Amino acid sequence: MANYKYHMLVCGGTGCFASQSDQIKKNLAQIIEEKGLQNEVQVVITGCFGFCEQGPIVKMLPDNTFYVRVKPEDCRELVEEHIIKGRKVNRLLYTDPENKEHVADSKHMEFYKKQLRIALRNCGFIDPENINEYIARDGYAALASVLEINNPLATIDVIKKSGLRGRGGGGFPTGLKWEIAAKNHADQKYVVCNADEGDPGAFMDRSILEGDPHSVLEAMAINGFCIGANKGLIYIRAEYPLAIERLLIAIKQAEETGLLGKNIFGSDFSFDIELRYGAGAFVCGEETALIHSMEGERGEPTFKPPFPAQEGYLKMPTNVNNVETYANIPVIILKGWEWFSSIGTEKSKGTKVFALAGKINNVGLIEVPMGITLREVVYEIGGGIKDGKKFKAMQTGGPSGGCLTEKFLDTPIDYDNLIEAGSMMGSGGMIVMDEDDCMVAVSKFYLEFTVEESCGKCTPCRIGNKRLYELLEKITEGKGTMEDLDILKSLSKVIKDTSLCGLGQTSPNPVLSTIDNFWDEYLAHVMEKKCPAGQCKALKSYIIEPDLCIGCGACVRVCPVNAIKGEKKMPHEINQADCIKCGACIEKCKFNAILIK
């Protein structure tokens, strides 16, 4: 990259691709060639920059200018103004929401200030389809070092001392998992990468695979050497076409370069990687269900022990780690366990990648040191709640997690603190909710997902969660009783204690956490037959305020069921028996005469 005067980095993650970033890249390359600048300017498609709310993004190097919400038609102006005339295109710069000033350098944006990118170190910086760019960033140097030292147990000890815990949800110590697999002797062992990622709103693993696939391949090879495996398998959902495409390119390039395959770096170590495709079953994020799916069986979990490290894929010792866990491995090898363990908290070392979404200004992918508080994530990195509304809760850990309220905003984020607060780290989803969200409905949403995704193998999960969902549906329709609330709590605890796998054991968490933190909302639904947030359709009433209604008839014309009656230029009324609560009338009324009660 050093031969070029300018580099234009274009975000090539799935989100920006959906907004024509591939066309932006083509337009920039065409205009640069038209201007005869192809020897001075290089256009590079990268992985995700993280700031998804502002995409598509084009970043200029070496001056680090960060252009946001770029459209294909903006390309000519970017080349002519920034490259040729040396002037920034102010209208495409990020605008700070506080002081309304343009911010050209991403280092000065609140979104990035408190981030520390380790797993995401190459995302948004290198071309993921060019192995040479990964190598230029010390790629495969960790594998070379491990093979040169030729001491698997010493490498495992480095991972153990680093304090790295599995980033897939459970937080099991990674080095210990490797050690168990290494001690189990067999003619054949396997290394597996869990890239299933089924949490609603989660896209951490997808973004790493799209932006830096070689970091995962390198880490899997290191894992294989450490446990005595020569075969790697990546289990990835078929709904990730871009990640799959870039993985296949990366595997081919690594094989052609001699970094995968036979006698890597001239050693006796050989290692191959293949992809296995999932159909999007959430339960296949659990490692035993994942293994069964790869074997062509139903994706159902089994009792442990034996653990996969003892008896996994094809009954052989198998080491399963998720994408983000692997992405940390090469850096730990190169920089040392002391460096990694100096980041984070006493029991949760390093950083964590989160998908920040919901009612927050800065939606995106973030990587922060363990121990950062929820308040810093929401109000600094996240830029606060949309439209200046009040923070209500944050769901962490996806369907397996819980809702954390305002009282937990100053809680340092790590595995143990989140569990103590009634939630969990999970794979890293963070959904922010505001005052307009109904927490009973939120709980019902997650239960609906869990019911759909249950494999059905064990009764507590298959039947118990269905009953939980039916109770929540009854409550949100205004038909619930106090007895139903008692059953909700007792049934949730039974499901937690008796389900076979982590999916069932954690599925009642959204119910229990919302009951603990928003009991008054449950009572309002049951006792008053009212949804305080006004979100439960069955409990809504659309009322026309007579003093504000001028009888224009606009609402009458859009009502699909003719529930609104009234004389012209006279206040109208809504027949509650006929009203289907679609909201068409309130959207059409220009006088704010229709209220929801």
For the chain, the domains span 6-113, 134-340, 351-434, 439-528, 541-596
Instruction: Identify the pLDDT of residue 424.
Output: 87
Contact of 105 with 113, CB cutoff 8 Å: no
- 130-134, 306-310, 501-505, 508-512, range with the lowest pLDDT: 501-505
Tokens for 193, please give them: 């990468």
How confident is the model over 308-312, as a mean pLDDT? 93
How far is C-alpha 314 from the geometric centre of its chain's CA atoms? Answer: 31
6-113 CATH pick, 1.20.58.340, 3.30.1130.10, 3.40.50.300, 3.40.30.10: 3.40.30.10
Q: Which CATH class is domain 134-340?
A: alpha beta
Nearest alpha carbon to residue 33 among 76, 64, 74, 87: 76
How far is C-alpha 250 from the geometric centre of its chain's CA atoms? Answer: 23
- Per-residue pLDDT tens digits for 459-500: 999 999 999 999 999 999 999 999 999 999 999 999 999 998
How confident is the model over 174-196, as a mean pLDDT? 95
Instruction: Identify the pLDDT of residue 581.
Output: 87
What are the CA-CA distances from residue 99 to residues 94, 96, 102, 182 (Å)? 12, 6, 9, 56
- Per-residue pLDDT tens digits for 194-249: 999 888 878 899 999 999 999 999 999 999 999 999 999 999 999 999 999 999 99
Tokens for 439, please give them: 């927490």
| 182 phi, psi to nearest 5 deg | -65, -35
- Per-residue pLDDT tens digits for 545-589: 999 999 999 999 999 999 999 999 999 999 988 998 888 999 999
How confident is the model over 58-62, as a mean pLDDT? 95
| Predicted structure pTM score | 0.92
Q: What is the mean pLDDT of the chain?
A: 94
CA count, 13 A, side-chain hemisphere, 314: 9
What's the fold here for domain 541-596? Alpha-Beta Plaits (3.30.70)
Instruction: Identify the pLDDT of residue 177.
Output: 95
Instruction: Identify the pLDDT of residue 96.
Output: 85
Q: What is the architecture of the domain spanning 439-528?
A: Up-down Bundle (1.20)
Question: What string of H, E and C letters represents the secondary structure of 517-568?
Answer: HCHHHHHHHHHHCCCCCCCCHHHCCEEECCCCCCCCCHHHHHCCCCCEECCC
Pairing label, strands 429-434, 391-396: antiparallel
Q: Does 2 score more than 70 pLDDT? A: no
Instruction: Identify the pLDDT of residue 510.
Output: 92
Instruction: Identify the pLDDT of residue 1.
Output: 42
Confidence of residue 168 (pLDDT cuts 50, 70, 90): confident
Burial of 343 (0-12, 13-18, 19+ CB in 10 A): middle
Instruction: Identify the pLDDT of residue 440.
Output: 96
Confidence of residue 342 (pLDDT cuts 50, 70, 90): very high
Contact of 581 with 595, CB cutoff 8 Å: no
How confident is the model over 435-456, as a mean pLDDT? 93
Specify whether domain 351-434 bears CATH 3.40.50.720.
no
Return the SS3 of 300.
coil
114: region left, alpha or beta (phi > 0 left; psi from -120 to 50 alpha): alpha
Instruction: Identify the pLDDT of residue 79.
Output: 97
What are the CA-CA distances from residue 339 to residues 106, 149, 169, 473, 560 (Å)? 25, 20, 23, 50, 64
Return the SS3 of 321.
strand
Instruction: Identify the pLDDT of residue 427.
Output: 80
How confident is the model over 107-120, as a mean pLDDT? 94
Instruction: Identify the pLDDT of residue 495.
Output: 95
